Structure 1
Amino acid sequence: MPRTLIRYTANDDASATPAWGVSFGSAIAPLGVGDLSTGRLLTDHWDRIWSLPPAQASLPRARVRLLAPVTTDQQFICQGINYRSHVEESGLQLSQFPFNTLFTKAPSCITAADAPVVRPAHVRLLDYEIELGLVLRRSLPAGARVSADDLGQWLGGVTIVNDLSARDVQLPQGQFYKGKSYRGFGPVGPGLVLLTPEEWRRWPELHMRLAVNGQTRQQAYCREMIHPPAATLTELAGLHDVHAGDLIATGTPAGCAARAPGRAAMFLARHLLSDARKWQLFIRKGLSNPAYLRPGDRLHLSIRTDDGAIDLGEQTTVITGP
C-alpha cells in the first residue's frame, strides 16, 4: 500500500520548526528526523518511512498546519503541452511539437495545498493547470536510461501540482519562467504519496480533476500523457543534473481558461497584426473571460485511481488579492 508523507508545523505556533510524518487516516506518526529537505529525507530515511507502524500515529491532523511536501531547495521542473487535448485547445498541432517541452518554475513559488494564493495586482489573466507531480527518490546519474519498469528505482512518490500561470505575462512576453513563478503560484500536496514498484505500474490510471467554485474545468487520466515519465527521466538525465527530492510537473490536459481563437482569427492575427496589437487584443478578450481566476474563487483538485487504491488527497485553494 502507498505511504503518504506529510510536512507540517504546529497549528497554533507560527514559529514552530517544520516536521515530517507519515499520515495514517486522520492521524500522523511523527518521523522525528528534524526539518530535512525532501531529498535528504528520501535518501537518508527511506526504510524508516516504510517501517513506521500505524500504532505510532499519535498526532491528530486537525492539530497541525500542512506545508508543501516538496521543500523550496529542490528543483521545480515542468513539462509543457504534454497532453494532446491541451495542445489542441492551445491552437497548436501535435505534429509541430514532436519534442518534449521542458521549462522550470522558481522553487520559491511552492506553497501548501490549502494555502491562499495572492493574485498580484498587475496580473489580470490568472490561469490554473492541474498536473501530476513526480518526486525523485534518488539522483539521476548523467546518461541514465530509465524504462517503464525502472520507475520505482528512481522515483519516490507522486503529488498534486497546480501550475498557476499569469497568462498576460507568460504569453505576450514569451516568458514561461516569469509568468509562472510568482510567490504562491505552485501549490503542491497535500502529501507526497510514496509508491511501491508494483504501484508505479498504475500511474496511467491516475484520474485528475480540477474544479473552480464547484464547476469541473479539467478531467483526464494520466495515461493521456504524450511523453511519459520514463522517457522524460531519460531525457533529463542526458541534459542536466537531477537530484533526489526534485519535483517534475508532467503537464496539464484541456480545460484551462486560456484558449486559442478560431482558425480565421488566428490567421488574421498572424498575417495582418503586429505582435503588440495581437497581444493587446488577447488581453482585452481575456478580461471578459469568466474562466480566469479572480479573488474569492475556490479551487478543488484531486488525483486518484478510480478504485481509490492510490489517492493523492485534495487541494483546496482560495484566490485572494486586490
Structure 2
Amino acid sequence: MPRTLLRCDDGTRTFWAVQFGERLAPLDLPAGAATTGAILSRHWDAIWDAREEDATVARADVRLLAPVTCNQQFICQGVNYRSHVHESGLKVADFPFNTLFTKASSCITAADATVVRPPNVQLLDYEIELGLVLRRDLPAGTTVAPDRLHEWLAGVTIVNDLSARDVQLPQGQFYKGKSYRGFGPVGPGLVLLEPQEWRRWPELHMRLAVNGRVRQDAYCGEMIHQPAATLSELASLQDVRAGDLVATGTPAGCAARAPGKFTMFVLRHFMSEAGKWRAFVAKGRSNPMYLRPGDRISAAIRTDDGRIDLGEQTTAVAAA
C-alpha cells in the first residue's frame, strides 16, 4: 500500500510524520534529517517501519508544510501533454524533444497556502502537474528503465505550476514568469509507492477546479515524454539529487489559449513583435479564466479506484 509522508508544524517544532487516516505517526529522526533529500536517502526504512499504533498526533492539530523542502531543485517539463500542445496552437510532431526548465525552489509553498498575485501580474494561470520526487542521487549517465522507476523515485505529489503569462510569454522567460514566491504549491503530502505500484502512474487522474468549476481533467498516461525517459535525459545533462522535484507538465484547460487562425495571420503579418504581445495582454485581461484575488483553486490526483490518492490542494488567491 502507498504510504503518505507529511512535513508538519505544530507551533513549536517542524517534524516529519507518516499519515494513518486522520492521525499522524511522528518520526523520531536526528536533527540532520530536516530536508526531503536527507529523510529519503538516509531514513527510508524508518518511514516504512512506522506503525499505526504510533499515530499519536491528530492531523487537525498541525499545519502541513510542503513535503519538498526549498533546498531541493524544482525541475519542470513543458508542453508534455498532447491536449495542452493542441490548445496552445501547436503540433505534437513539432516537439520531438523534451522541453525542460526550472522554477526557483523559493516558490515552493504548502498545498493550502494563500498565493499572492504580484502587483505587476494580471494574467495569472494555473497548471496541475504530477510531481516526481527522487529517492536517491541520480548518477551521471544513468539510464532508467520504465520498470525500474522504484529504484530512483520515492513517490509522487501534486504540483500547481502557477504562471504569470504576461511575464512568461511576452518576455520569453519561463523561469521569471513561474518563480514568484508562492507560485509552487506542492503537496499536501509525498505519497511513497511500492515497486509494483509504480506501474500505475499512467492511471493517475488529475483534476483542477476554480471556484468549484472543473478546468482541467486528464490522465497522466497522456504524457508525451514519460518519467523513465525524462530521468535518463536529466542524468545526461546535470546532477539530480535525492529529494529533487520533477514536475511533469500539464494537460489542457489552462486559461492561456492560442488565438484563432485568422488572428494568428494578422498578428504574424501586420503587427510588430511588441505590438503582438501588447494585444495578447490586453485580450487576456478580459479572459475570465485567469485567476483573480478571491478565487479558490482545488487540485487532486488519484487513481479512479482510490488505491493511490495524493490528496487535495486548496489554494486561495489574494491581492498583493
* TM-score interval (norm. to shorter): over 0.9
* Aligned mate of 1:111, from 97, 109, 112: 109
Q: CA deviation at 1:93?
A: 1.2
CA distance in 1, matches of 2:262, 2:97: 27
Distance 1:308 1:245 in 2: 25
Q: Tell me, what secondary structure is at the counterpart of 2:209?
A: strand
Query: Among 198, 215, 219, which residue is 1:221 paired with?
Result: 219
Output the amino acid matched with 2:149. L
Secondary structure of the 1:292 match is: coil
Correspondence 1:17 to 2:13:
yes
| Matching of residue 121 in structure 1 with residue 114 in structure 2 | no
The Cα of 1:216 is off from its aligned counterpart by 0.1
1:230 paired residue number: 228
Residues of 1 paired with 2:93 and 2:270: CA distance? Answer: 25
Q: CA deviation at 1:17?
A: 3.0
Paired residue type of 1:287: R
Report what 1:240 is aligned to. Answer: 238
SS class of match (1:271):
helix
In 1, Cα distance between equivalents of 2:268 and 2:303:
42
Residues 173-197 of structure 1: per-residue CA shift (max 9 Å, x gap) = 0000000000000000000000000
Gaps of 5+ in 2: none
Report the counterpart of residue 89 of structure 1 in structure 2: 87
User: SS of the residue aligned with 1:4?
Assistant: strand
- Give the distance between the partners of 1:94 and 1:310, measured in 2 at CA: 29
Alignment of 1:162-311 (within 5 A): 162-311=160-309
TM (normalized to structure 1)? Answer: 0.98
Identity among equivalent positions (%) equals: 70
Once residues 269 and 145 of structure 2 are traced to their aligned partners in structure 1, the CA distance between those partners, rounded to angstroms, is 44
Equivalent AA in structure 1 for residue 75 of structure 2: I
Equivalence for 1:144: 142
Match of 1:39 among 23, 37, 40: 37
The one-letter amino acid of 1:5's match is: L
1:306 CA drift (Å): 0.2
Cα distance between partner residues in 2 of 1:54 and 1:268: 63
For 1:88, give the aligned amino acid: H
What is the alpha-carbon distance in structure 1 between the residues aligned to residue 48 and residue 270 of structure 2? Answer: 61
Structure 1 portions without partners, runs of 5+: none
1:201 counterpart SS class: helix
Cα distance in 2, alignment partners of residues 69 and 108 from structure 1 = 14
CA-based RMSD: 0.7
1:30 alignment counterpart: 26
2:61 matched to 1:63?
yes
The aligned amino acid for 2:89 is: G
Q: Deviations over 1:267-286 (max 9, x none)?
A: 22122211110000000000
In the TM superposition, what is the alpha-carbon distance from 1:74 to its structure 2 partner? 0.2
Of 75, 78, 82, 2:76 maps to 78
Tell me the CA shift for residue 41 of structure 1. 0.3
Q: Give, in whole Å, the separation in 2 of the partners of 1:17 and 1:37.
A: 14
Q: Which amino acid aligns with 2:3?
A: R
Task: Give per-residue Cα distances to partners, 1:97-124, cap 9 Å, x unaligned.
Answer: 1100000000000000000000001100
- Give a deviation string over 1:258-312, Cα, whole Å, max 9, x none: 0000011112212221111000000000000000000000000000000000000
Shift, 1:36, TM fit: 1.2
Q: Deviations over 1:187-216 (max 9, x none)?
A: 000000000000000000000000000000
Provide the rounded CA distance (Å) in 2 between the counterparts of 1:50 and 1:220. Answer: 31
Give distance in 2, aligned partners of 1:271 and 1:99: 28
Q: Which moved more, 1:32-41 or 1:107-116?
A: 32-41
What is the rounded CA distance, in whole Å, between the counterparts of 1:145 and 1:267 in structure 2? 43
Structure 2 CA distance, aligned partners of 1:254 and 1:90? 9
What is the TM-score with the length of structure 2 in the denominator? 0.98
Aligned to 2:155: 157
